[in-house]
């Protein structure tokens, strides 16, 4: 990677807008700093958006990290060094795909690098069998979690810190880790003893005797007019990352569960006013969070509210329309930001037509973590296992891995 950075030709002037409370920003800032150190043609300026509000407003930056290259938007959101390099040097993607496709078949191939995938890889590697992990980004949804206070034996930590610890633990074992690999298709084994195949968007493909699917989940979207148009232009999903950009402004939080109420509490200390909208007739958050929320003077709570449209001026969000489910009346709120906190969707679009899924898209698993396909297991937030928690995902990953090993010793001799 160092040689690839040094070999980049041309002039690269990067600017990164960040916030100090953003857990996604450090990876981007430090990756670009490293590149600037290694290559004299690369320059990087990191800008605290909360301190340069006029500049942020002028460039209409409403999400961090926002990266500009030579004055043109380069990307938004978490990007590691590998991902930045892949965007700058497209030939590197093809070379990496060819290298991956040439690998021998695995005994266990884990698809996904979150808590479930990490746990599955460790348990498989400890059995002494050929283990691989292919992940779009190591750490998964944990990277977008700020404070973690319910991971047993760890009193308090942060998502990126836990993700780093998970990866370090996996790397202690003989595990082949392949990053920036987004799965696009599962080709099941046709007969007993045949290999399963996973194809990736990069063009790479891998084969394995058993699979553990741990692709996790992503933020659920509202699915209303204007949402896609104003993403990162006022429609946000991470209050910790983007909250400081809305200092002194009016925002809404969609969702009355724990994540929504926590977001509203955090934002109330930054913005001028928060309106929380909940579809149900009452909030679903823990009582202690609700008490805190209702004690805040700059927060309004609206229940039985169905968000119907995100309004904007073509450049940024200007308001939100919702339907009062009790009266049937449509109402509008003037604001500058909308934080969507309505749960998660499983990352299973690529699995439709192969393994059995629920109507919500979750992979159906039995008590052993096995799917409808023999030799294919699943674990974590992507499955039907209730209660999407990190500690549960870790346990389910271990279970799926032990089940995969049991399947191997009953059907074939592991390499």
Tell me which residues are annotated as active site. 238, 241-242
Long-range contacts of 282-289 (CB under 8 A, 24+ apart): 282/256, 283/256, 283/257, 284/256, 284/257, 284/258, 285/256, 285/257, 285/258, 285/260, 285/261, 286/258, 289/258, 289/261, 289/262, 289/265
Long-range contacts of 80-84 (CB under 8 A, 24+ apart): 80/27, 80/31, 80/137, 80/179, 81/1, 81/31, 81/34, 81/35, 82/1, 82/179, 82/180, 83/137, 83/180, 84/28, 84/31, 84/32, 84/35
Give burial (CB, 10 Å; 0-12/13-18/19+) of 306: middle
In whole angstroms, how large is the CA radius of gyration of the chain? 23
CA-nearest of 271, 250, 246, 275 to 260 is 275
DSSP SS3 for 243: helix
Q: What is the DSSP string of 28-76?
A: HHHHHHHHHHH-TTEEEEEEETTT-HHHHHHTT--SSSEEEETTEEEEE
Please report where in the chains the tokens 């741990």 appear, as a residue: 214
DSSP SS3 for 132: strand
Please report where in the chains the tokens 């200390």 appear, as a residue: 269
- Vertex 394: Cα angle to 408 and 369 (nearest 5): 40
How many other C-beta atoms lie within 10 A of the C-beta of residue 367? 8
């Amino acid at each position: 990677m160092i040689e690839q950075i040094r070999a980049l030709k041309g002039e690269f002037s990067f600017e990164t807008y960040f916030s100090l409370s953003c857990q996604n920003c450090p990876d981007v800032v430090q990756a670009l700093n490293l590149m600037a150190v290694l290559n004299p043609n690369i320059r990087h300026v990191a800008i605290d958006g909360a301190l340069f509000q006029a500049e942020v407003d002028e460039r209409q930056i409403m999400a961090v990290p926002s990266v500009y290259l030579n004055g043109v938007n380069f990307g938004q959101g978490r990007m590691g060094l590998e991902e930045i390099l892949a965007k700058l040097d497209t030939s590197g993607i093809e070379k990496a795909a060819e290298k991956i496709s040439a690998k021998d078949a695995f005994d266990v191939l884990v698809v996904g690098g979150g808590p479930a995938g990490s746990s599955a890889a460790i348990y498989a590697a400890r059995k002494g069998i050929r283990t691989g992990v292919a992940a779009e980004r190591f750490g998964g949804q944990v990277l977008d979690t700020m404070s973690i206070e319910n991971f047993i034996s760890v009193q308090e930590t942060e998502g990126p810190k836990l993700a780093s610890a998970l990866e370090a633990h996996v790397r202690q074992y003989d595990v082949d880790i392949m990053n920036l690999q987004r799965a696009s298709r599962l080709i099941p084994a046709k007969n007993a003893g045949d290999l399963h195949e996973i194809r990736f968007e990069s063009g790479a493909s891998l084969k394995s005797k058993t699979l553990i699917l741990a692709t996790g989940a992503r933020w659920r979207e509202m699915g209303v007019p204007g949402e896609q148009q104003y993403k990162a232009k006022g429609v946000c999903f991470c209050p910790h990352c983007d909250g400081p950009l809305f200092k002194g402004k009016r925002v809404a939080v969609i969702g009355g569960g724990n994540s929504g109420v926590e977001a509203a509490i955090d934002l109330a200390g930054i913005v001028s006013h928060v309106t929380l909208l909940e579809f149900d007739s009452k909030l679903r958050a823990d009582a202690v969070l609700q008490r805190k929320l209702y004690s805040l003077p700059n927060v309004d709570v609206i229940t039985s509210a169905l968000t119907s449209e995100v309004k904007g001026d073509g450049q940024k969000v200007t308001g939100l329309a919702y339907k009062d489910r009790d009266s049937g009346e449509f109402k509008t709120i003037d604001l500058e930001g909308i934080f969507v906190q309505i749960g998660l969707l499983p990352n299973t679009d690529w699995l439709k037509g192969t393994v059995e899924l629920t109507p919500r898209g979750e992979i159906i698993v039995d008590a052993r973590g096995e799917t409808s396909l023999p030799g294919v297991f699943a674990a974590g937030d992507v499955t039907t296992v209730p209660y999407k928690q990190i500690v549960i995902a870790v346990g389910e990953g271990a279970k799926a891995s032990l089940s995969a090993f049991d399947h191997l010793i009953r059907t074939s001799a592991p390499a």
